[in-house]
Structure 1
Amino acid sequence: MQMPELVIVLSFAIGAAFGVAGLLSGFCLMSGLRDYWTKDDGRKLRSYAVALAVAIAGTQLIAGLGTVDIGKSLYLQPSFSAPLIFLGGLMFGLGMVLANGCASRALVLLGKGNLRSLLVVGLIAVAAQITLKGLFAPARLAFLQWTQVSPPHVSVPSLLGAAGLGEAVAQIAAVLIASGALLAFAFSDRSFRRAPGQIAAGVVIGLLVVAGWLTTGYFGADDFNPIPATSLSFVAPLADTLQYVMFSTGLTLSFGVALAVGVLAGSATTALLTGRFALEGFTSAPHMLRSTVGAVLMGSGGAMAYGCSVGQGLTGLSTLALPSFIAVAGIVGGAALGIRRFAPVAALATR
């Protein structure tokens, strides 16, 4: 098996595992935040915290060992635009509340027959393409060039190193602080400690982030045919999947496309085997309108923020990149705004 083929197979397997875990556990940052803020139920949010803790520890371990060079990834580029990333995160966070789920959750639900998610997934892909390469791309690039900066440090370990700690010590300290705080938050709640399914989902999805880095940064490492090191993300991959479906004769399969197809396959297979598969549609025209606006905001916002609640919230933060913290702050801020304004309405159309 040639190396690119191995990457595609592993990418599909990672996506399928995410689809299974996502469907069985309801893993979703938006649902976790909404339940935590409106129902005093923090189990899903704490599961997300476990996933992030595992992703940070595992990613920093393979980076520290030199197995994967995450320094060349999208998240640790020397220049970035904080206003663009924050605004994109804000749009994505608001959009996932309006659509009642983030991009990854929509893809998982599509696998179980949720036709509302078909519209959401399709519009996320179209809006992302328009923002990345289409009509909105010149404005995005102009704003990027106007606001981008090149700070001396773009990650938490680098900042700690500048404070006088050695490189290895700074990396270990950053991991212990970040992962330790996340795990302490997660397991401080008795109801979460009694939810083995949510704990397992967090661990599995965190490990899938690490597996994604290994797939692209180790198994996909080839000086003659390099594959950019990356891991789980769903906005740009959905855009790439749409483009591949339309123009597959002139394109090649990528990690993101195989990942998205794997999530759909894993979710659909699990739904069929467990009797969860059921066709669902919109309940009203306003419901469809909210989902449409939310999907467009997620597609454009995710493109501007270089990732979604998984792409930046797990994969980006696993690198401890400062831009990822900015993006996640925007996502959480947008979600808070949306939940405060639209939570009663969204509750009428829960999935």
Structure 2
Amino acid sequence: MVFDSFVAAHWTMLGTVFAIAVLLGAVVNKSNFCTMGAVSDIVNMQDWQRMRMWILIIAVAILGVGLLEPLGLINADESMPPYRASDFAWAGYLLGGLLFGIGMTLGSGCGNKTVVRIGTGNIKSLFVAAVLGTVAFFMTNPLPLIDASLRDLFFGWVNATAISHSHGQDLGSLIAGEAGPWVRPLLALLIGGALLYAVLRVAGFRQDRNAVSGALIIGACIVAVWTVTSNVYVADETGQRDTLQTYATDWDFHHPDTDAGRPESTRWLAPQGVNFVGPLVQSTQYTASGFNPGLITVGVMVIGGVIVGSFLWALISRSFRFEWFADRQDFNRHLTGGVLMGIGGPLAMGCTFGQGITGMSTLALSAPLALGGLILGSALTMKIQYYKLLYEDEATFSKALVTGLVDLRLLPASLRQLDAL
């Protein structure tokens, strides 16, 4: 899409993303897709149905990016967050995913599910979203007085342990170096095809039309946002086309006498998929600024669209209802969950959607590492909660932790502290 005006181009992109996000919010609500629920179903009931949904979404996203990128319709190399960055900050991805997984279990859902529940009237989720967005904001924009100490505490050691790859950290670049762009489509077909086969070979899943159609639409929404944010240009008087990011960076050259329509930052004009950590930060900034139009980003549109879509489906299905904290313990648990997600999200450079789907679609090595930490943190937290509920005072945190690790086969059975029930 080529426009003569930056403002027209920018708002067309934002409006299109908003429409996609409305569909995304409605479908996630209707299909009951929940990444934390997928982990919980396996841990507690050995039910893989929602996990198969997640895998199918990932497969669609990988195939979509892998096939459209060689055609020039998606530009994941210049994405924000930079999934294919040369520095592989493995410690941050792993620890961040672990903290996020713990947080989403305590907070009753990941970033996506939190936003979807806001649309259904859940005030607890609105609180968690505000906490997550605020903490994540100060993780990436620390106060001047604690700038150095905060960065050293969370990012100093992460950056120090990062491994640099000259051609990027995606599988294509790691395997083929400069020829990575030629290898990525083949890898996408291989990996995406294998994931498709793994889930669609299960008759019980294939026959669940709500789950299959929901997963296909959610995956398509991820690819659609990638495509839209990669294909909006502004043409100057000479006919030269600039991306929105390039045009806004040279704003003073194009519009030396006015700032009307100028975004506060060019960072989030880059190509991007669907994430919920960064967008919650951006939405928090936008709200705190008194709804400054210059702070409206793709992320803000994603959050707003998902809430609207979820709300519309809640009205259609008559499932809208206000929900508040049951007690002080419930409040404290959600507060802790929001804080941990706000810390873990920036460290992992994403969430269940940001790394678990969008990151995976780029074949970035960071995605499976963050996703592994996230699933481990969530599953282990569920195990600890389970044993403390069953055994009450007898189940100390350490006993529940060790027993949970045994259940997950990360420690030998001889170390079991509590009997499984």
2:170 to 144, 155, 158: 155
CA distance in 1 between partners of 2:271 and 2:179 (Å)? 25
TM-superposed deviation, 1:119: 1.2
- Say what the alpha-carbon RMSD is for the aligned residues: 2.1
Alignment of 1:245-264 (within 5 A): 245-247=287-289, 248-249=291-292, 251-264=294-307
Q: With the length of structure 2 as denominator, give the TM-score of the two structures.
A: 0.77
Match of 1:330 in 2: 373
Whether contact under 8 Å (2:88, 2:169) holds in the other structure is no
- Name the CA distance, whole Å, in 2 between partners of 1:338 and 1:185: 28
Residues 63, 69 of structure 1: 8 Å contact kept: yes
Please give the alpha-carbon distance, in whole angstroms, between the structure 2 residues aligned to 1:346 and 1:75: 39
Q: Provide closer, same or farther for how the CA distance between residues 106 and 142 of structure 1 changes in structure 2, counting only shifts above 3 A.
A: same
8 Å CA contact retained: 1:98, 1:342: no
SS at match of 2:83: helix
2:256 aligned partner: none
Offset of residue 168 of structure 1: 6.2
- Aligned match of 2:9: 3
Q: Does 1:224 align with 2:237?
A: no
Inter-CA distance 169–142: structure 2 relative to 1 (3 Å threshold): closer
Evaluate the alpha carbon distance shift between residue 343 and residue 261 of structure 1 in structure 2; reply closer, same or farther with a 3 A threshold.
Answer: farther
Q: Distance in 2 between matches of 1:119 and 1:344?
A: 28
Q: The residue matched to 1:89 in structure 2 has which SS?
A: helix
Question: Which amino acid in structure 1 is aligned with residue 298 of structure 2?
Answer: F
Runs of 4+ in structure 1 deviating by more than 4 angstroms, as ranges, are: 165-169, 343-347
Instruction: Tell me which residue corresponds to 2:191.
Output: 178
Distance 1:295 1:168, change over 3 A: closer
Query: 2:279 maps to which residue?
Result: 237
Greater shift after overlay, 144-153 or 281-290? 144-153
- The letter for the 2-side match of 1:160 is I
Partners of 1:99 and 1:58 lie apart in 2 by 32
TM (norm. structure 1) is 0.92
Q: Is 2:60–2:192's contact at 8 Å kept on the other side of the alignment?
A: yes
Distance 1:217 1:173 in 2: 21
**In proportion to residue count, which structure has more helix?**
1
Cα shift readout 1:88-118 (whole Å, capped 9, x = no counterpart): 1110011111112111101101111111111
For the 8 Å contact 2:86–2:164, the answer to whether it is kept is: yes
Residues matched between the structures, number: 345
- For structure 1, the 5+ residue unaligned runs are none
Given residue 66 of structure 1, which amino acid in structure 2 is its aligned partner?
G
Unaligned runs of 5+ in 2: 1-6, 144-149, 234-242, 249-265, 391-421
Spell out, residue by residue over 1:191-231, the C-alpha distance to the aligned partner (whole angstroms, 9 max, x if none).
21221001011101111111111121112633313621111
Q: In structure 1, which of residues 280, 298, 303 is the aligned counterpart of residue 323 of structure 2?
A: 280
Task: Tell me whether 168-177 or 272-281 shows the greater mean CA deviation.
Answer: 168-177
What is the one-letter code of the residue matched to 2:170?
S
Cα deviation code 1:305-350 (max 9, x no counterpart): 1100000100011000111222112111212211221257899xxx
Aligned twin of 1:295: 338
Distance in 2 (alpha carbons) for counterparts of 1:83 and 1:346:
32
